[in-house]
């Protein structure tokens, strides 16, 4: 069966390997990201998720493999061969980071205008047009402001447009980061733990925003997230990593009952604590309990029974007694 993400995908990751000296952070990883879908990249801490993002966005150059981005107009970009600034400017890949990286001293709307720097610089002829007030730059600046206002409305921050970005709440800053990334017109939006530190209400607002981006804009979303309520609630496709290797790839319903995924999150080996795996499956899918076979457990080799020791003969002791008595008798004589 051909999956949606395998049929003309936006991003193809093929045999990606990333080594740091003798450490293999990512090992022979392959998966696809579909157009206008939300793909989640999940796994325990240290599984290599952010390393994958760094390879896609040009911060790292992969040791092996291919990262191919397919635009709808037929253009293709091999991201592993491009500088990081070209990945954003030409291939139109945008990302956010685990830690918020806004310009806290600038206003909310100025943060979104900065994201459109390349467009404004081209329209100004690299500052000359802006200084002379040429019409092309004025038009581009007005369009950039309109786009900023549009995204501020989408993230419910239009009334805070002139406030410093650093004065926003944590959840609002997270949404502003996503709005800034969307101002670059990305074909692929990479979000690194966007729900980290959010309360349930803020997580709900984030889910609504990501669904809007998926449904109303021509962008594929690839996100890293540890909040499983967010992942299972909005994802169309989930890829699971453990120690840099893919252990599962499928829909949320398929992944949440995969024994390999449950073992990775519980931190147990194949041969250990299968009862815990079964309990976890029962918790997430009671109707499937007992239908999923756990991995065969290894039985400890049976130790051979120790051989019975032969009973010690007491005859020598008797001989010693007799020889002792004979010595005494000889002494009397």
Q: What is the pLDDT of residue 277?
A: 59
Whole-number pLDDT of residue 264: 84
pLDDT, tens digit (0-9, with 9 covering 90-100), for 86-105: 999 999 999 999 888 999 99
Cα-based angle 324, 326, 330 (whole degrees, multiple of 5): 120
The CATH architecture of the domain made up of 1-92+185-251 is 3-Layer(aba) Sandwich (3.40)
Q: Which residue has the tokens 């709808």?
A: 72
Helices (H), the chain: 49-56, 84-89, 108-114, 117-124, 128-132, 135-154, 170-182, 200-216, 228-234, 252-255, 259-266, 274-284, 315-332
Q: What percent of the chain has pLDDT over 70?
A: 77
Cα–Cα distance measured from residue 82 to residue 91, given in angstroms and rounded to the nearest whole number: 9
Q: What mean pLDDT comes out for the span 155-165?
A: 95
The model's pTM:
0.78
Closest by CA to 96, choosing from 219, 221, 198, 214, is: 221
pLDDT at 77 over 80: yes
pLDDT for residue 120:
79
Which carries the bigger pLDDT value, residue 42 or residue 274? 42
What are the sequence ranges of the domains in the chain?
1-92+185-251, 104-184, 257-296
User: What is the per-residue pLDDT across 263-318, written as a single tens digit (0 to 9) for each?
Assistant: 888 766 655 555 655 655 555 555 545 545 444 333 334 444 454 454 444 444 44
Query: How far is residue 24's CA from residue 242's CA, in Å, rounded to a whole number?
Result: 12
């Amino acid at each position: 069966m051909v999956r949606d993400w395998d049929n003309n995908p936006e991003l193809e990751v093929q045999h990606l390997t990333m080594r740091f000296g003798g450490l293999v952070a990512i090992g022979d990883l392959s998966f696809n990201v579909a157009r206008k879908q939300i793909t989640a990249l999940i796994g325990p801490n240290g599984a290599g998720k952010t390393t994958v993002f760094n390879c896609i966005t040009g911060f790292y150059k992969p040791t092996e493999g291919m990262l191919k981005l397919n635009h709808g107009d037929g253009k293709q970009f091999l991201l592993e061969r491009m500088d990081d600034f070209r990945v954003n400017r030409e291939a139109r890949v945008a990302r956010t980071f685990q830690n918020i990286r806004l310009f806290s001293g600038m206003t909310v709307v100025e943060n979104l205008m900065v994201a459109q720097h390349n467009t404004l610089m081209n329209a100004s002829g690299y500052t000359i047009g802006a200084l002379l007030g040429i019409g092309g730059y004025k038009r581009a600046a007005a369009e950039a402001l309109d786009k900023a206002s549009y995204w501020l409305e989408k993230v419910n921050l239009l009334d805070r447009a002139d406030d410093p970005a650093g004065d926003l709440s944590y959840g609002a800053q997270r949404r502003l980061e996503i709005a800034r990334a969307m101002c670059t017109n990305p074909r692929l939006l990479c979000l690194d733990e966007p729900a980290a530190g959010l309360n349930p209400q803020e997580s709900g607002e984030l889910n609504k925003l990501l669904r809007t981006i998926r449904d109303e804009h021509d962008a594929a979303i690839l996100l890293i997230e540890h909040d499983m309520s967010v992942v299972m609630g909005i994802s169309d496709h989930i890829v699971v990593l453990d120690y840099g290797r893919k252990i599962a790839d499928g829909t949320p319903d398929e992944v949440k009952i995969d024994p390999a995924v449950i073992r990775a999150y519980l931190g147990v080996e194949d041969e250990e604590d299968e009862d815990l795996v079964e309990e976890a499956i029962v918790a997430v899918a009671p109707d499937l309990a007992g239908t999923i076979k756990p991995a065969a457990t290894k039985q400890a080799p049976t130790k051979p029974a120790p051989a019975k020791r032969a009973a010690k003969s007491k005859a020598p002791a008797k001989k010693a007694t007799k020889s002792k008595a004979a010595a005494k008798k000889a002494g009397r004589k």
